[in-house]
Amino acid sequence: MAESRLSPEAFLELVQSGVPFARYLHMSMESMHYGQVVMRMAYHPDTIRPGGTISGPALMTLADCAMYGVVLSAIGRVELAVTTNLNINFLHRPAKADVIAEGRLLKLGRRLAVCEIILHSEAHHEPVAHVTGTYSIPPTKD
């Protein structure tokens, strides 16, 4: 497995300083390699919606942060790489448990990166959501 172009610690610091509300979702990086990440969102009662399930916005934030990690693992610290598309299919109702995001790079071009994220609940074996997304990579100054 190829080495990430950004350390997990540097990535989490970037997310927590650049997107301050993300720290309230109790996310951590389990592993980060070139084009692949595994992130965890620890269960917290603040993420629960009526009906006793993890809220969609919390799941989408975890998926988007995982995509950002996938992209930066391949291109390094490029803070202005941004989401241009995020598509999420909710598959199963997640229980009150940690949620794991497994992300991978599908295609990396000069200006766009396409990623896939599978969200799993620790309490449910089947995926709770399938996410695809595209990130825009700003041009380099050459």
Q: How far apart are the first and last CA of the chain?
A: 30
- Which residues, at least 6 apart from 128, have a Cβ–Cβ distance to it below 8 Å? 54, 59, 90, 91, 92, 93, 94, 99, 119, 120, 121
Task: Quote the pTM value.
Answer: 0.95
Instruction: Please give the pLDDT value at position 21.
Output: 84
Cα separation, 105 vs 85, whole angstroms: 14
pLDDT tens for 69-78 read 999 999 999 9
b/e burial code for range 116-142 (CB count within 10 A of at least 16 → b): bbbbbbeeeeebbbebbbbbebeeeee
pLDDT tens for 102-112 read 999 999 999 99
Instruction: Please give the pLDDT value at position 1.
Output: 81
Phi and psi, residue 81, nearest 5°: -70, 130
Instruction: Please give the pLDDT value at position 4.
Output: 97
Q: Give the count of alpha carbons within 13 A of 16, CB side only.
A: 13
Architecture of domain 8-136: Roll (3.10)
Q: Please list the ranges in the chain whose pLDDT falls under 50.
A: none
Q: Give the count of alpha carbons within 13 A of 29, CB side only.
A: 24
- How many residues belong to the chain? 142
